[in-house]
Amino acid sequence: MTLLAPLTPALSPVLSTAPAVPGAPQRIACLSTEAVEVLYRLGAQDRVAGISGYSVHPPEARAEKPKISGFSSMKLERILAVRPDLVIGFSDLQKPLLAECETAGLPTLWFDQRNIAGIHAMVRQLAALVQKEVEGEALCAGLVTQELRLAEAAAALPWRPRVFFEEWDDPLICGIGWVSEIIQLCGGHDIFAGRARAGFAKQRIVSHEEVLSHEPQLILGSWCGKKFVPEKVLARPGFAELGARLAEIKSADILAPGLAALERGAPQVLAAIQSTVLQ
């Protein structure tokens, strides 16, 4: 069975480090949640010096690691207080934070993975960074097994429902690259798959009329940082008349391009698609 190919080479992870990191880092400040989970799963949790307050997985990280930043904001003194020898961030939103760290003399590493292939590459990069290459390959092999299981279950579905993934409600923002790939992997047809290639949220804004014109049969809500409210969706003109199934996927389970998206979010996407098709 063939897995999804990367969307485009340009959407593979973008990695940078400035200044050069001498040897394997021992105290890593993680501004993004997916790096935290990967390092824990690699057995390198002792290297994690601090995490973002938005980190959810694994729960033990929230219990035992200092919170040093938000997602798009930080106070440099909190970063410096954990004495990092490397600061890791993700996406254009965290680039300014890493630039501030670099000005303060801290080595940084920036990721920008936007698809499933990029998640695998990120895992391997972190594994190499902490000299856990064997563990990294095992982790990636587990992800491939998971993806094959999802694809096999999707192949058994009698038809593919039209899916609208709602990342935000006002304005409406559709799903990003890895989310779109997960929908397709799980047997759905992402109605805005073309928009998913755009990395910036403002490029993924869609109108109510655009959504209605595609007549989605499943609406997946994952409002970043707040609870999905189906009643608000149904109150929009024309949305109740769609008769679409509505389901929530917690943003922590799918909106970070890492292990959680494939291991926690994707099975929920599959379950929602199966329920839509087999209801």
Q: What is the mean pLDDT of residues 23-44?
A: 95
Q: What is the mean pLDDT of residues 6-13?
A: 38
pLDDT greater than 60 at residue 14: no
Separation CA 27–CA 68 (nearest Å):
13
Q: What is the pLDDT of residue 128?
A: 97
pLDDT single digits (tens) 181-208: 999 999 999 999 999 988 788 999 999 9
Separation CA 260–CA 230 (nearest Å):
23
CB atoms within 10 A of CB 204: 22
pLDDT greater than 70 at residue 156: yes
Domains and CATH numbers, the chain: 9-144 (3.40.50.1980), 157-278 (3.40.50.1980)
Which pair of structure tokens corresponds to residue 121?
Answer: 């590459």
pLDDT greater than 90 at residue 13: no
Q: What is the pLDDT of residue 47?
A: 97
Mean pLDDT rounded to a whole number for the chain? 92
CB atoms within 10 A of CB 60: 10
pLDDT greater than 90 at residue 35: yes
- CA distances 51 to 33, 56, 87, 137, Å, are 7, 10, 10, 24
Q: Which residue has the higher pLDDT, 70 or 270?
A: 270
Cis-peptide into 96, omega within 30 deg = no
pLDDT greater than 60 at residue 161: yes
pLDDT greater than 50 at residue 229: yes
Separation CA 180–CA 192 (nearest Å):
8
Q: Which residue has the higher pLDDT, 93 or 16?
A: 93
Please name which of 88, 93, 84 lies closest in space to residue 129, comparing C-alpha atoms: 88
Q: What is the pLDDT of residue 197?
A: 86
pLDDT greater than 90 at residue 57: yes
* Contacts with 238 (C-beta within 8 Å, 6 or more apart), sequence order: 208, 212
Contact 161, 220 (CB under 8 A): no
Rg of the Cα atoms in the chain: 19
Q: What is the pLDDT of residue 200?
A: 83
User: By percentage, how much of the chain surpasses pLDDT 90?
Assistant: 86
Q: What is the pLDDT of residue 15?
A: 52
* Contacts with 154 (C-beta within 8 Å, 6 or more apart), sequence order: 185, 186, 187, 270, 273
Confidence of residue 20 (pLDDT cuts 50, 70, 90): very low
Q: What is the mean pLDDT of residues 78-91?
A: 96
Residue 24: exposed, middle, or buried by beta-carbon count in 10 A (0-12, 13-18, 19+)? Answer: middle
* 3-state secondary structure (DSSP) of residue 238: coil
